Amino acid sequence: MLRTFGIEYVALNPGASYRGLHDSLVNYGGNTKPEIILCTHEEIAVSIAHGYAKVTGRPMAAAVHDVVGLLHATMTIYYAQLDRAPVLVLGATGPVDRARRRPYIDWIHTALVNGNAVRDYTKWDDQPATVADFPASFARAYRIATTEPSGPVYVCYDAGLQESEIERPIEIADVAAGARPSPVQADPAAIRSAAELLAGAERAVFVTEFTGRHPAAVGELVGLAEETAAAVIDLNGRVNFPNRHEQNLTGGDALAEADLVVLFDVGDSSRALNELDRLTNEKRTRYRAGTPIVDIGLAELRQSKWAEDLGQFQPVTLSIVADTQLAIPALRAAVRQTAPRDRSARCAELRRKHAEIKARWEKEAHEDWDASPLTAPRLASEIWSVIKREDWILTSNTLEDWALRLWEVDGPDRHPGRSFGTATQIGTSVGIGLAYRGTERLVVDIQPDGDLLYDPGALWTAAHHRIPLLVVMYNNRAYYNDWEHQLRVAKHRGTPSENARVGQELDDPAPDFAMLARSFGWHAEGPIAEPAKVRPALERALEVVRHEKRPALVDTIVRHRQDKRFR
């Protein structure tokens, strides 16, 4: 079934509950396809599958060992759900037939039922009761995972069934040949209504988050924006709009002047349209009262039964449930049916505002340019100077968004979307590297220190499986995101701000990430705090990745401008 459905890789940490499947992967065909990607933790296995799915649009499998392996993997399964990533999680349970269980171990590794642990944040789970039911169960799991909005599924296989002799051939041809569901198309009347609003708007603003998961949709969105002179704000769930396009006003205040807002594939529309004062909890709208809002996407179909990831309810003027890869071309066609208008003045205004935003970022980037340790924008600039002539892809972290501001990000193939929580970024990056292994693509991971300390074993997986990566440590020797939260609480409560560092610093001793990477077989240098030494180290690392086809790491020490340790 794995081969028939084109599953190229199975990431796993070995587990007795699926030893039958493991034996078949190794011996049934010589471990060619699917290839086993050996991981040191189930979080890494699922994150690798997540990263692979983000850039290919196809699922790979992650196998997790019964109860304990599934519980290890739960967080990364949840993030795959939030990120609309089609991940096929294969699990196992001890023999359901109690007579076949070994004392103690098979009993504590059998749950009623395993899927309960992840049911609230997977699209579907199943535990087929017979081997004859495996094909239909697998086919349904694959279809559900890959049907938009995509997401993870979990299929659990009884260890007893895995090790039972098959009495007769199991046919898979019919289920494998079954038609895949077509994308969700919009109501034509709703599309016409949206086109009329858009044709009549003077200052339309598009807000987009996940449209770039279908690369062809980005070209359609660019065309629609150009034809309607709309400003575009990219929330970077994927890269949805070229950052150097003159209508990209991400980082500006375009919403405040909008006379129409169109949301494309926005997961939490309230977050996109409102801002919250973190000290007073006062919510303020980013748009003018009475501005019509059109919401196009699949958010209503992807809500979790457990987590409130949809955010606060946001009233809109027109809600259109549709896959944007179909809805945007239909909307463009409908707009063209309306009377054309001269939008040259609006286009000139957008060009001016785009230039102002870019100039502001360039100015901010050069503040404390020669500081040691480096600032985030200085590091982003140094990385860009080394990779800009390469065919590069940036994996997860964007260095406080400075990579998206200072680099030329011309399409969704440059960056598969923003990072998620700690303990996911190194695994996701390895998965992206796996997807491009054997190509000339340069895969770049800007790697936070706290994230790597969760799953350092991912470095071994990358080296063992010859996955070339250029990893640049974003090492501030702290869990600085939470440090900022503590600074905010200190300001609110009037407690000493210097105490915000307690329980946050990753120092005394400072982890030696270069030494750690070398112990796993990587080329590695650092730590480096002096700006002038960064580029030469990056160039040496790039040579290793390019010519030796193995991973390389450069550990750079980065300071936050509010961090008094580095003043």
511-529, pLDDT tens digit by residue?
999 999 999 999 999 999 9
Confidence tier at 256 by pLDDT (50, 70, 90): very high
- pLDDT surpassing 60 at residue 566: no
Q: Is 499 exposed, middle or buried (0-12, 13-18, 19+ CB in 10 A)?
A: exposed
- pLDDT surpassing 90 at residue 105: no
Residue that is written with structure tokens 């987009």 in the block:
208
Q: How far from 129 is each of 107, 112, 135, 178, CA to CA, in Å?
A: 18, 13, 12, 22
- pLDDT surpassing 80 at residue 159: yes
Of 143-157, 392-406, 468-482, 483-497, the poorest mean pLDDT is in 483-497
Fold type of domain 9-177: Rossmann fold (3.40.50)
Of 44-58, 219-233, 306-320, 431-445, the poorest mean pLDDT is in 306-320
- pLDDT confidence of residue 326: 97
- What is the domain class of 188-356 according to CATH? alpha beta
- pLDDT confidence of residue 5: 93
Looking at the chain, the whole-number percentage of residues with pLDDT higher than 70 is 98
Residues with Cβ < 8 Å from 380, sequence gap 6 or more? 365, 399, 402, 403, 405, 406, 407
- pLDDT surpassing 80 at residue 280: no
- pLDDT surpassing 80 at residue 278: no
- pLDDT confidence of residue 31: 55
Q: What is the dihedral of CA 559, 564, 566, 567, to 10 degrees?
A: 130
- pLDDT surpassing 60 at residue 332: yes
- Average pLDDT value over all residues in the chain: 93
Are the beta carbons of 425 and 447 closer than 8 angstroms?
yes
Confidence tier at 305 by pLDDT (50, 70, 90): confident
Q: Which tops the pLDDT comparison, 29 or 418?
A: 418
Query: Where does CATH 3.40.50.970 sit in the chain?
Result: 9-177, 366-566
Q: Which tops the pLDDT comparison, 423 or 408?
A: 408
- pLDDT confidence of residue 30: 58
Confidence tier at 192 by pLDDT (50, 70, 90): very high
Look up the CATH superfamily of 366-566: Thiamin diphosphate (ThDP)-binding fold, Pyr/PP domains (3.40.50.970)
- pLDDT confidence of residue 247: 98
Q: Is 133 exposed, middle or buried (0-12, 13-18, 19+ CB in 10 A)?
A: middle
Of 116-130, 174-188, 253-267, the poorest mean pLDDT is in 174-188
- pLDDT confidence of residue 327: 98
- pLDDT confidence of residue 257: 96
Cα–Cα distance, 563 to 567 (Å, whole number):
8
Helix (H) or strand (E) holding 154: strand 153-158
For residues 79-85, average pLDDT: 94
Looking at the chain, the whole-number percentage of residues with pLDDT higher than 90 is 76
Range from 92-101, 412-421, 430-439 that averages highest in pLDDT: 430-439
Residue that is written with structure tokens 């969704």 in the block:
412
Confidence tier at 567 by pLDDT (50, 70, 90): low
Confidence tier at 563 by pLDDT (50, 70, 90): low
Please give the structure tokens belonging to residue 200: 């009549």
Helix (H) or strand (E) holding 539: helix 534-543
- pLDDT surpassing 90 at residue 477: no
Query: Where does CATH 3.40.50.1220 sit in the chain?
Result: 188-356
